[in-house]
Amino acid sequence: MNKEVLHYHLGTMDYLQCWEFQEKLMQSIINVKLSNREKEIPEPTKNYLLTVEHPHVYTLGKSGKSNHLLVSEDFLKSINATFYKVNRGGDITYHGFGQLVVYPILDLENFFTDIHRYVRNLEEVIIRVLNDYGIKGERSSGETGVWLDTHDIKKARKICAIGVRSSRWVTMHGLAFNLNADLKYFDYIIPCGISDKKVTSLHLELGKKVDENEVLEKVLHYFEEVFECQLTKKSSELKNLIFT
């Protein structure tokens, strides 16, 4: 089993372009797995981790409802936002500036073949990061993501959304962690289809702007710790994203 994970930090990138990269990486892993069926000595599969920030975009998962987008196409244009229906699980969410988005493209056969455990691990990464800032991140029964104050319906709020897809035990999509995000963009949707709970961000909880590079390093550290893997930093140059 290959526990090395190749990390590409992509900076700010258009959502659609990044989605296409994810699809290519996922398919490259699947292709190796399929070809290994004919090989006496199988070729190890690769694992990838993309970290990125997107310009304003709303995405609707396979189980989501279109009416959870509360504004018109013309309004989206007026706020320089785009909208896509995507092939992950979950409902509607927002990505934008000041948010850390993490896309693991992993062959879970290198780790464990359990999607439920995979999602819990993603949550655990963020829970450990929040703990470093003196914030108690929690899970909410029946809901994915990382929450605060889940014991009080009036105070419960989500700080990190999670939506994933898997095929042949290969994952894509991932999590969105609100750092310095402008939360007004969540007013235009019913986030994750949940109307009775709020959304928050790390800078709001701390009462100050956070160092996004510092948070990124913490996320990478705890990703290695939780998934018991070795991250290898790769060039962010797109020309070096070679799909084989």
Q: Is 12 helix (H, G, I), strand (E, B) or coil?
A: strand
Enter the CATH code of domain 4-240: 3.30.930.10
pLDDT of residue 64: 87
Q: What is the pLDDT of residues 127-143, one digit of tens each?
A: 999 999 999 999 998 89
Nearest-angstrom CA–CA distance, 163 and 175:
6
Distance between terminal CA atoms of the chain?
Answer: 19
Q: Mean pLDDT over residues 19-36, rounded?
A: 96
Q: Where are the alpha helices (H) located in the chain, listed in sequence order?
A: 15-35, 73-78, 115-132, 202-206, 212-227
Q: What single-letter amino acid sits at 228?
A: E
CA 234/CA 217 separation, integer angstroms: 15
| pLDDT at res. 239 | 47
What is the pLDDT, as a whole number, of residue 62?
A: 87
Q: Where are the domains of the chain?
A: 4-240
Is 70 exceeded by the pLDDT of residue 237? no
Q: Determine if the pTM surpasses 0.85.
A: yes
Kindly name the residue from 18, 160, 192, 229 that is annotated as catalytic. 192
Owner of token pair 């310009």:
55
pLDDT of residue 191: 78
pLDDT of residue 244: 43
Q: Given a cut of 80, is residue 173 above it in pLDDT? A: yes
Contacts of 56 (CB under 8 A, 6+ apart): 79, 80, 81, 82, 94, 95, 96, 97, 185
Answer yes or no: 192 catalytic: yes
pLDDT score of 89: 84
Q: How confident is the model at residue 153 (pLDDT cuts 50, 70, 90)?
A: confident
**Measured between alpha carbons, how far is 156 from 243 in angstroms, rounded to an integer?**
42
Arithmetic mean of pLDDT, 153-159: 92
In whole numbers, what is the pLDDT of the chain averaged over residues?
93
Cβ proximity of 68 and 92 under 8 Å: yes
Q: What is the mean pLDDT of residues 108-131?
A: 98
Q: In this model, does residue 196 exceed pLDDT 80?
A: no
**Structure tokens belonging to residue 121:** 């691990």
